[in-house]
Chains A and B, each alone.
Chain A
């Protein structure tokens, strides 16, 4: 059957078997190998992508479920050929070692920051609790996500004309304990 998806801003219509998983559509049919497969069972989060802005695990999500929707993968995080603030923050804060979990980690974080650009450590940890890193390094991943939030908020203020209301807290402001979801 035919599936029409918009992936990272580009529309594609692909003939697929109904059982084809979204992760295989992305990796095998569209050549987007940045989305990785770690567990095949929705456990590790390496395959996380955004479907209409919602983080989902594409190894247990059928390609046909994405029909008519927009999908964002790690390849779609880059802005104008440059790493996004989130990608930069992962580099700056040593938020990765082998890099296998990183794309899924970043897409979950991307969805979090879109909802909540100033998450507490607890909120970041809660949001990332379905993404596993085996090399260790959650501490730096959490730091990277919070730093990306700060960078995104600063950029928004710089872009906003004379808006006092949107002024972000300074980067070194103490992190408030946030309620978990």
Chain B
């Protein structure tokens, strides 16, 4: 973005100005505070023993040698946790997950036992002294195989669970869609597998849990993209009073969705600290991160597109087999077990559409998170764009032209899709034209033709997309029942400097800079005078966190709104200082002036001082506020 896009001048530097990031100075000096950098007096170290098998009964666990090892403070098994009612924990998808395995393991890498020791090297040594007898069971890692009648039952712990099917979910009008297919001139189909991938943030997951035996205060430094939601879940799981739980998500070394779920290691470390009375640190290594924590994709997709003879899409349908691993720990809004996959009509005006998703258990690590996109939107985009490409080949049409012919047109917004989304705005042909122009598309096609004639291969790929990001609206979108609003609290001090506290959390997105710029734009306080706090549940208002491209659309909007709230109060104070009527006071870039007499003015800093020193009669002191913002709809960014 160039500075010419900015709505404020070079003194205020609101959004649109390219400013140096406020967080960078500490990070380039190596003075960030990541979870593994936290070191507390008396702190112990925890390591987890994991299952080497994907599916097996545990017939015996012998921890005596590990317990006797010098430097070991405690060894914890599922049985130990069970005695406290903590062997199982709820997932973000209303399933239960073993914290430490009891009678059987259901994926390779599953947590079986924990060692707490004075030194991390000693903890690792002691893991090798734990003796576990496994009785192997047949494992199933393909979700289609897992649905077969003779497939091994993975979740014997779940009452009433007789197979490996988790859920069936569908959206759209099946009848209308099937009718359109029956009448279609052409039908194009695609079977595709979008493989499991791991977000692999460079910093692995971990925590330092510190339960104070005197006060009961439980402070957990946690690699968390959603610290407030995690606090509530900890309160519910462990039965701890929520005011006694403080989650601190300090600097995070990337998240990409991987730090949204709650992992067994967090729970065991917290229980260990509670029982031992000392802080316990658990930091997983890279292998543990890759084999056991939240993955993305793993969608087996079938898609079909119905078209008229002239290349107009008339209907779209899809059936998906979704591999959720051994526990359904997908981090998705609770009404949408397949996330927002129903954005699968993409940027196209499709009259009829229907999608079905079936979630399946397999002997693989649990997960299903929003990796570098909104919930399951990448999967949807991948399917529709592959189908459009196939259609172009089959109809012998230029894929750019086929897209242009089917785009939702700019004048159709707001546009209601066949599956119920209301797209707010967009200009898809413009994005396509711009991309083709920048590429020199016509020349590329000519070059391709020449090369083909010579027997050389050359491919040209095009993808258009419409994302759906910025969840809520809270009535429709929630995580474990918690509505997906977000929040901002702004305090302006007497000297005109401010602290902004936000409910979202940053993993490298630069909130400390961007959100300060939002305040600058709304209230005229330069970004360097606005300190942004986040990630500490004791010191920030409740929020649902940062993932699925929601921070700025929701938390950023809350920030703008709280700043406007303060501006309204500031206008009243300015009117008092200027001895003018409130309606005669105008605001522009941090300055309040009397309409028609611009030389009579007060700055936001003057007004902030007056908020504590010289108030209108009857007005409450201070210049601060809090806003919880629940967006009316998602936003729909697009591109080609």
Q: Which residues of A contact B (CB under 8 A)?
A: 17, 19-20, 24, 27-28, 31-41, 43-44, 46, 73-75, 77-78, 83, 87, 90-92, 94, 96-103, 106, 132-135
Contacts and interface: CB of A to CB of B under 8 A. Distances in A.
Contact of B29 (A24, A44, A74, A135): A74
Contact of B28 (A17, A96, A98, A134): A96
Contacts of B121: 17, 19-20
Interface string B18-29: 001101110111
B420 interface: no
Contact of A100 (B39, B254, B285): B254
B427 interface: no
Contacts of A102: 27-28
Contacts of B287: 40
B203 interface: yes
A91 B30 contact: no
B29 A83 contact: yes
B251 A98 contact: yes
Contact of B21 (A33, A94, A100): A94
12 contacts: A31-B39, A34-B29, A36-B34, A43-B286, A73-B30, A77-B30, A87-B29, A91-B21, A96-B28, A98-B507, A100-B202, A100-B253
Contacts of A83: 25, 28-29
B16 interface: no
B101 interface: no
Given A98-B252, A101-B202, A39 B28 contact: no
B606 interface: no
Contact of B203 (A20, A96, A100): A100
B25 A91 contact: yes
B200 interface: yes
A92 B27 contact: no
A32 B30 contact: yes
Nearest to A101: B202
B290 to A, nearest CB: 10
B82 interface: no
A106 B508 contact: no
Interface string B30-56: 111110110100000000000000000
B201 interface: yes
Contacts of B28: 74, 83, 87, 90-91, 96, 99, 102, 106
A76 B360 CA distance: 52
Contact of B34 (A19, A92, A100): A100
Contacts of A96: 24, 27-28, 508
A109 B32 CA distance: 20
B348 interface: no
A102 B254 CA distance: 12
Contacts of B201: 98, 100, 134
B508 A97 contact: yes
Contacts of B37: 27, 33
Contact of A99 (B20, B120, B200, B251): B251
Interface string B283-300: 001110000000000000
B616 interface: no
B510 interface: yes
B224 to A, nearest CB: 14
Nearest to B255: A98
Nearest to A35: B30
